[in-house]
């Protein structure tokens, strides 16, 4: 099935950011069969220093021009049933590691749309096209319940995300339901400590009250315990510190708490949170260049998920550096950070080599596409980070339920044995 025509257009993410959507028409020359697929690039508010360039110099108009001039003429005629064939061509066309000529948004939207076309051409689900016949495991949903930091415009706690994840649910529906129940019930507890709270949510659907990080964790722990007891599922707690956004170059600045912490004090603070609230998941506890502090925390808590996002930015070389330093036990995989599914797959393989668990993640400015759910299953991820509420979040969770139904007795949901 060869690409016969391509389009690109401006569309919007769930946060209202302008992004690109790529549409492909593919045709079987022998039968005349024609299929059309499309995909859009998500957009993150908190982008790591080492991510690919989202747009080329000149912004989205330059990205559209680059697609029409450089990309379209080169990919028409390529066979989408050959996995990652277009991804290799995109790297050849751009010839810069950061996709500075065409932009990472163009690259990942094209990569996604091509994978969708390849799967449709073969008559198989996208996750099977990505992961093959042995892609049978569903990831655990990791949901953002209370939000702070950059995602909440500095109006909530200093820590960016307060998270929950079901540890051993019987099926994906129960896992999604448990997270949703925690999100609903947390509001009642928030209103007890912040009576002026009007129900505001951030970009990912997390509540954004004016409370401290400690208060947020106390509320989350209580509600997760109650919901878990009722549903019959143990629910673990986690945080995304997004520490690069707190880092001044010398200290970590917690503006709302009025506290400054040195790297050593940050290590002590995070360690206290892990112990006091039995956190099983800690993402980006230090800034994006501090492999040493990551390694110290990981050595201390090897039975928890110490996860790098800004530290690794889905980059195989940085993951290799972190693996050698034993800096983390988990890695965030965001394909748009690196530009193509081919590169994201290479990042997953590198992380697996060092024994890291895989967390496939959305962006704060995400799209309504279900693609990420299939990527998580195709990559065999233990966890998918999607948020809990909002159309672009539930689209992915509902798709996981459909995939679980499709797999039936042949599928299984991940378990976290920490």
Domains of the chain: 2-123 (3.30.390.10), 131-413 (3.20.20.120)
The one catalytic residue among 21, 204, 296, 399:
204
Q: Please compute the mean of the pLDDT values over residues 395-411 and round it to a whole number.
A: 94
Torsion angle, alpha carbons of 296, 297, 298, 300, to 10: 90
Region at 50 (left for phi over 0; alpha for psi -120 to 50; beta for the rest): alpha
With beta carbons less than 8 A apart as the criterion, state whether 134 and 379 touch: no
Burial bucket for residue 19 (CB in 10 Å: 0-12, 13-18, 19+): buried
Q: Is 150 in the active site?
A: no
Which residue positions form the known binding site for Mg(2+)?
240, 283, 309
Q: How many CB atoms lie within 10 A of CB 415?
A: 11
Q: Is 67 helix (H, G, I), strand (E, B) or coil?
A: helix
Q: Is the model's pLDDT at 150 over the cut of 80?
A: no
Calpha distance 376→371 (Å, rounded) = 9
- 128 exposed, middle or buried (CB, 10 Å; 0-12, 13-18, 19+)? buried
69 counts as catalytic: no
Which DSSP category does 239 fall into?
E
What is the pLDDT, as a whole number, of residue 151?
A: 65
Instruction: Tell me the pLDDT tens digit for each residue of 278-308.
Output: 999 999 999 999 999 999 999 999 999 999 9
| Residue 165: both structure tokens together | 């994840």
**Has residue 417 got a pLDDT over 80?**
no
Tokens standing for residue 63? 């990205």
Would you put residue 242 in left (φ > 0), alpha (ψ -120 to 50) or beta?
A: left
pLDDT value, residue 213: 95
From residue 43, alpha-carbon distances to 19, 209, 224 in Å are: 7, 24, 30
Dist. CA 325–CA 289, nearest whole Å: 13
Under 8 Å between Cβ of 103 and 41: no
Residues annotated in the binding site for (2R)-2-phosphoglycerate, as ranges? 160, 334, 363-364, 385
| Mean pLDDT for the stretch of residues 204-232 | 96
**Average per-residue pLDDT for the chain:** 95
Binding residues for substrate: 151, 161, 283, 309, 361-364, 385
Give the mean model confidence (pLDDT) for residues 335-363.
Answer: 97
List, in sequence order, every residue forming a beta bridge with 360; answer none if it has no partner. Answer: 333, 384
Choosing from 334, 382, 396, 399, the catalytic residue is 334
- Contact present, 290 and 328 (Cβ < 8 Å): no
Phi-psi region of 392 (alpha: psi -120 to 50; beta: other; left: phi over 0): alpha
**Helix, strand or coil, per DSSP, at residue 196:** coil
Select the more confidently predicted residue: 97 or 416: 97
What is the band of 403 on the pLDDT scale with cuts at 50, 70, 90? very high
- In tens, the pLDDT along 368-395 reads 999 999 999 999 999 999 999 999 999 9
Where residue 30 falls among pLDDT bands split at 50, 70, 90? confident
**Which residue numbers belong to the known binding site?**
151, 160-161, 240, 283, 309, 334, 361-364, 385
Q: How does pLDDT run across 244-253, given as a tens digit for each residue?
A: 999 999 999 9
**What value does the mean pLDDT take over residues 337-365?**
97
How much is the pTM?
A: 0.96
- pLDDT value of position 31: 84
């Amino acid at each position: 099935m060869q690409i016969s025509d391509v389009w690109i257009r401006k569309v919007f993410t769930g946060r209202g950011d302008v992004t690109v959507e790529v549409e492909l028409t593919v045709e079987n020359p022998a039968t005349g069969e024609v299929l059309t697929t499309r995909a859009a690039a998500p957009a993150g508010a908190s982008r790591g220093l080492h991510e690919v360039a989202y747009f080329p110099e000149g912004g989205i108009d330059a990205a559209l021009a680059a697609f029409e001039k450089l990309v379209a003429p080169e990919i028409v005629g390529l066979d989408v049933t050959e996995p990652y064939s277009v991804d290799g061509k995109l790297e050849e066309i751009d010839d810069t590691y950061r996709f500075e000529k065409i932009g990472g948004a163009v690259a990942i939207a094209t990569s996604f749309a091509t994978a969708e076309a390849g799967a449709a051409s073969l008559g198989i689900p996208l996750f099977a096209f990505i992961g093959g016949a042995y892609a049978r495991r569903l990831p655990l949903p990791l949901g953002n319940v209370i939000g702070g930091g950059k995602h909440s415009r500095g109006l909530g706690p200093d820590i960016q995300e307060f998270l929950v994840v079901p540890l051993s649910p019987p099926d994906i529906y129960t896992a999604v339901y448990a997270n949703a129940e925690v999100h609903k019930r947390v509001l009642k507890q928030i209103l007890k400590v912040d009576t002026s709270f009007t129900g505001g949510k951030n970009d990912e659907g997390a509540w954004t009250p004016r409370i401290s990080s400690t208060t947020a964790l106390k509320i989350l722990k209580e509600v997760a315990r109650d919901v878990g007891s009722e549903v019959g599922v143990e629910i673990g707690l986690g945080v995304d510190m997004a520490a690069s956004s707190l880092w001044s170059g010398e200290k970590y600045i917690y503006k709302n708490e009025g506290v400054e912490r040195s790297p050593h004090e940050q290590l002590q603070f995070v360690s206290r949170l892990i112990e006091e609230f039995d956190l099983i998941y800690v993402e980006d506890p230090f800034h994006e260049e501090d492999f040493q502090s990551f390694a110290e925390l990981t050595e201390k808590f090897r039975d928890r998920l110490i996860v790098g996002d800004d530290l690794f930015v889905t980059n195989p070389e940085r993951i290799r550096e972190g693996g050698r330093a034993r800096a983390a036990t988990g890695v965030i995989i965001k394909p748009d950070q690196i530009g193509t599914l081919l590169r994201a797959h290479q990042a997953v393989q590198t992380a697996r080599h060092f024994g890291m668990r895989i967390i496939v993640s959305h962006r704060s400015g995400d799209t309504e596409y279900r693609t990420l759910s299939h990527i998580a299953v195709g990559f065999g991820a233990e966890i998918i980070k999607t948020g809990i509420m909002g159309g672009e979040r539930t689209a992915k969770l509902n798709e996981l339920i459909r995939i679980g139904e499709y797999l039936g007795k042949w599928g299984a949901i991940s378990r976290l044995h920490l």
